[in-house]
Amino acid sequence: MSIKIGHKPYAERIQDGLNNSFMRKAVSSAQGRFRSGRLKAAEELGDWEDWRTLGEEIRSHTMENLDYYLHQLSEQVEKRGGTVFFAETAKEANEYIQEIAKKKQAKKVVKSKSMVTEEIGLNETLEKSGCEVVESDLGEWILQLDEDPPSHIVTPALHKNKEQIRETFRKKKGYTGSDDPVELAAFAREQLRQDFLEADIGVTGCNFAVAESGAITLVTNEGNARMVTSLPDTQISVMGMERIVPTWEDLEVVVSLLTRAAVGQKLTSYITALTGTRLEDEVDGPEDFHLVIVDNGRSKILGTEFQSALHCIRCAACINACPVYRHVGGHSYGSIYPGPIGAVLTPLLDGYEDHKDLPYASTLCAACTEACPVKIPLHEHLIRHREIIVEQEKMTTTSEKIMMKGFAKWASTPAAYKLSTKMARTTLKPWTKDDYIEKGPGPMKGWTEQRDFPAPSKERFRDWYQKREQRSDH
Amino acid sequence: MKVSLFITCLCDTFTPEVGKDTVELLERFGCEVDFPAGQTCCGQPAYNSGYKSESIKGLKQMIKTFEQAEYVVGPSGSCVHMLKEYPKVLADEPEWAERARKLSGKTFELTQFLVDVLKVEDVGSTFTGTATYHPSCHMTRLLGVKDAPRILLENVKGLNLIDLPMKEDCCGFGGTFAVKNSHISGQMVQEKAEHIEETQADYLIGGDMGCVMNMGGRLRRNGQEVKFLHIAQVLNTQ
């Protein structure tokens, strides 16, 4: 996989999403749970706005000094027996990991959930070189069996309901049980147990790396990351280069924000911190530990007006709050990063060419900005993307350009404004019936496809006002 | 107190009655209202669509029109917020940015002006009926006007206000979004229309004409009998 998923054009993807009533039902009910959970957890913590400000400060400070903290992190990891590899591109990251797999003559790799490995397409690379790769996060495992991309960054199989999951298990794994979630999960655990025992390499993502200690922390609810990081002798953690905090104290703040904003939990069931290889006097830990720090376009964002997009802690609160995501689902975005943060991040990491429609897939209602626990001004970033698409990339249609130029002229010339608003009712008369337009011409078509449009008033406000002034003058 | 009315292009063209009610309301509380005739549109359709350079001339026209005012008041949270964005949009032209900053500081949305500046919480209106209120996104999240409309409506005699389920969700208007992404917009406004139906209210009240036109247009398309009004119309009913 890569950042881009599928090959369908935007309009087709949106239509697929809107037509998928199973998915829409699953998404809206999940959104309901996540939203109320987040609000409740925020209220319970108290001073939520102060926490957000603190979170923003930590993320902002870290990005401002990213070179320093990355250096500190790599020194600490190496001091504890680990090896650090900086990968500028997805290809470099994949090749490095592939090389380790070759050296270890690895046949099986188990993974815990990681968006960055989705981003770089690690599974395909390892599979090509003959490794079996097994995803151990329940959602990711379901998707892997179904060869389906994630539709959400925290709960990747959000778009599937339990009946669909039962079908997948039946077809791919010979499952014979019911669609009871407990039974489904128990089946998955049983199946995965063998994979953990057989795996030669464990691959994890990284929620946050702690620079001062070189620890890699993983925030999970299923316990699978513990299995991935305690059974195989070789450990590889892959992290986006921005996923770092300076200290344990900072970690406490961002983890508190993450679990509350993501799933409404005070803490997840497991927070795992991995610090280097097994020392002589220790009984567990890997023989070999590699930390792969992935740039893949991130450093280009540093120092730009989009820098705060790197503050993201991947909680998906913006996705859960988004009314557009609610109706179209994650796959419609055509990116492994969907929703508002996806619409901001995807063009930055993967270019405008394939993703120029994403910044427009928003009403700019700012529910995302309000939900973000580290105060990323997501809706403002979307407007800025639109400016770049229009003014620098010049990717908009000629008809839109003509219309907007016309609008600009109209809005800056009172005489034109006055004349057109005066003529509006007459101009639209051929399409008007009972003071409404039910099927409008040209640019009005999109509007009237979905709802009626009111006819302009017989008397504008300014006409009324002028008459009133004249009356009071007499 | 002198108030210059920022009517918004939608109210000027489609719902002059909202303007009349706004003028009468402000006059009732001692304001001297004038209407600077050089005003056009706040420029949001172009700016929010990415046509920043194109929008700037119109923004300057609006600044020139309103900068002499003591207060500028408009019956729309979204358009008022756009005026408050002018300093940011014009940041590359310091002189204009400064003029924009001055304008921004004296510009208010109608209910915000009534409650925060005029300190009026009960406008003394009577409106008999059952209604539900949709709090528009730009008014609440961007302008930060969350309580003023509710305070004013709760004090209207005869008005039975029913809470709108999922009221914080966008109605799907989003300016050009309603046309450019009309299919998504249609599903969003449909969900809103269903929530409005659930309240069994006779009236839908909103504070932003764009959102009211969107929801009202869908209600009419669906054959729903709910009447839709701008909040100024309710507050000015005696």
Give Cα separations from B26 to B4, B10, B113 (angstroms).
10, 20, 9
Please report where in the chains the tokens 């011409």 appear, as a residue: A441
Residues 6+ apart with CB under 8 A from A16: A8, A331, A332
> Cβ–Cβ of A417/B41 closer than 8 Å?
yes
Q: Same domain, yes or no, for B99 and B127?
A: no
Q: What is the mean pLDDT of chain B?
A: 97
Rounded to an integer, the average pLDDT of A313-329 is 98
pLDDT at A447 over 90: yes
Query: For residues B87 and B85, what is the distance between their CA atoms, to the nearest angstrom?
Result: 6
Kindly tell me the burial class for residue A351, based on how many C-beta atoms sit within 10 Å of its own C-beta (0-12, 13-18, 19 or more).
Answer: middle
Residue B97, phi then psi, degrees to nearest 5: -60, -40
Q: What is the pLDDT of residues A448-458, one digit of tens each?
A: 999 999 999 99
Q: Same domain, yes or no, for B109 and B133?
A: no
pLDDT at A473 over 80: no
pLDDT at A56 over 80: yes
Q: Which domain holds residue B165?
A: 121-235
Kindly tell me the burial class for residue B6, based on how many C-beta atoms sit within 10 Å of its own C-beta (0-12, 13-18, 19 or more).
Answer: buried
Give the percent of chain A with pLDDT over 70: 100
Give the percent of chain A with pLDDT over 90: 95
Residues 6+ apart with CB under 8 A from A372: A52, A261, A317, A318, A378
Structure tokens at A128: 């090509």
Which long-range CB contacts under 8 A does A29-32 form with residues at least 24 apart? A30/A155, A30/A158, A30/A320, A31/A320, A31/A321, A31/A325, A31/A326
Taking Cα atoms as reference points, which of B1, B33, B2 lies closest to residue B232?
Answer: B33
Please report where in the chains the tokens 């961002």 appear, as a residue: A254
- Residue A472: pLDDT band (50, 70, 90) is confident
Q: Which of B13, B17, B146 to mutate to test the interface with A (most CBs of A within 10 A)?
A: B13
Residues 6+ apart with CB under 8 A from A68: none
Whether the Cβ atoms of residue A330 and residue A121 lie closer than 8 Å to each other: no
Q: Same domain, yes or no, for B112 and B143?
A: no
> What is the DSSP-derived secondary structure letter of residue A47?
-
SS3 B3: strand
Q: Same domain, yes or no, for B129 and B229?
A: yes
CA angle B16, B180, A460 (to 5 degrees): 10
Q: Is the dihedral of CA B8, B185, A29, A3 positive or negative?
A: negative
Q: What is the pLDDT of residues B147-175, one digit of tens each?
A: 999 999 999 999 999 999 999 999 999 99
Q: Does A391 touch chain B (CB under 8 A)?
A: yes
Rounded to an integer, the average pLDDT of B115-138 is 98
Q: Does B170 touch chain A (CB under 8 A)?
A: yes
Q: Is the dihedral of CA B188, B190, B196, B202 positive or negative?
A: positive
pLDDT at A1 over 70: no
* A181-198 vs A162-173: helix crossing angle, rounded to 10: 40
Q: Locate the DSSP E strands across A285-332.
A: 288-294
Rounded to an integer, the average pLDDT of A420-427 is 95
Please report where in the chains the tokens 């959000």 appear, as a residue: A158
Rounded to an integer, the average pLDDT of A6-29 is 96
Residue ranges covered by each domain of chain A: 46-300, 398-473
Predicted confidence at residue A276, as pLDDT, reads 87
Predicted confidence at residue A281, as pLDDT, reads 86
Q: What is the CATH number of domain A46-300?
A: 3.40.50.10420
CA–CA min distance A90, chain B (Å): 31
- Residue B16: pLDDT band (50, 70, 90) is very high
> Cβ–Cβ of B186/A360 closer than 8 Å?
no
Q: Same domain, yes or no, for B67 and B142?
A: no
pLDDT at A60 over 70: yes
Provide the CB-side half-sphere exposure for A234 (13 A, CA): 20
Q: Same domain, yes or no, for B45 and B105?
A: yes
Q: Which of A20, A320, A395, A461 to mutate to test the interface with B (most CBs of B within 10 A)?
A: A461
Rounded to an integer, the average pLDDT of A218-242 is 94
Chain A, 167 to 186: residues with Cβ < 8 Å from chain B are: none
Whether the Cβ atoms of residue A10 and residue A328 lie closer than 8 Å to each other: no
Q: Same domain, yes or no, for B209 and B226?
A: yes
β-pairing, A270-274 with A215-220?
antiparallel
- Residue B58: pLDDT band (50, 70, 90) is very high
Q: What is the pLDDT of residues A329-378, one digit of tens each?
A: 999 999 999 999 999 999 999 999 999 999 999 999 999 999 999 999 99
Q: Of B116, B145, B177, which residue is a domain's last? A: B116
**Shortest CB distance from A411 goes to which of B19, B43, B172?**
B43
Q: Same domain, yes or no, for B155 and B189?
A: yes
> What is the DSSP-derived secondary structure letter of residue A455?
P
Query: For residues A138 and A141, what is the distance between their CA atoms, to the nearest angstrom?
Result: 5
State CA B130 to chain mean position distance.
21
Provide the CB-side half-sphere exposure for A340 (13 A, CA): 32
Residues 6+ apart with CB under 8 A from A243: A116, A206, A207, A208, A209
Q: What is the pLDDT of residues A361-375, one digit of tens each?
A: 999 999 999 999 999
Higher pLDDT, A452 or A282: A452
Q: Of B116, B148, B177, which residue is a domain's last? A: B116
For chain B, how are helix, strand and coil distributed in percent, rounded to 5?
55, 15, 30
Q: Of B69, B88, B116, which residue is a domain's last? A: B116
Q: Which of chain A's residues have a Cβ under 8 Å away from the Cβ of B43?
A: 411
Predicted confidence at residue B159, as pLDDT, reads 98
Rounded to an integer, the average pLDDT of A225-237 is 93
CATH number reported for the structural domain that contains residue B134 in this entry: 3.40.50.11810
> How many domains are there within chain B?
2
Please report where in the chains the tokens 């990213």 appear, as a residue: A66
pTM of the prediction?
0.96
B174: region left, alpha or beta (phi > 0 left; psi from -120 to 50 alpha): left
Q: Same domain, yes or no, for B61 and B136?
A: no
> Cβ–Cβ of A365/B14 closer than 8 Å?
no
Q: Same domain, yes or no, for B100 and B39?
A: yes
Whether the Cβ atoms of residue B2 and residue B31 lie closer than 8 Å to each other: yes
Q: Same domain, yes or no, for B6 and B111?
A: yes
Predicted confidence at residue A246, as pLDDT, reads 98
Q: What is the pLDDT of residues A259-280, one digit of tens each?
A: 999 999 999 999 999 998 988 8
ipTM of model: 0.97
Rounded to an integer, the average pLDDT of A310-323 is 98
Query: For residues A136 and A126, what is the distance between their CA atoms, to the nearest angstrom?
Result: 16
- Residue A285: pLDDT band (50, 70, 90) is confident
> What is the DSSP-derived secondary structure letter of residue A310?
G
Total CB pairs under 8 A between chain A and B: 198
SS3 A242: coil
Predicted confidence at residue A474, as pLDDT, reads 64
**Shortest CB distance from A18 goes to which of B35, B183, B189?**
B183
Rounded to an integer, the average pLDDT of A274-298 is 92
Q: Which of chain B's residues have a Cβ under 8 Å away from the Cβ of A408?
A: 46, 51, 54-55, 57-58
DSSP string, A414-429: HHHHHHHHHHHHHHTG
Whether the Cβ atoms of residue A234 and residue A149 lie closer than 8 Å to each other: no
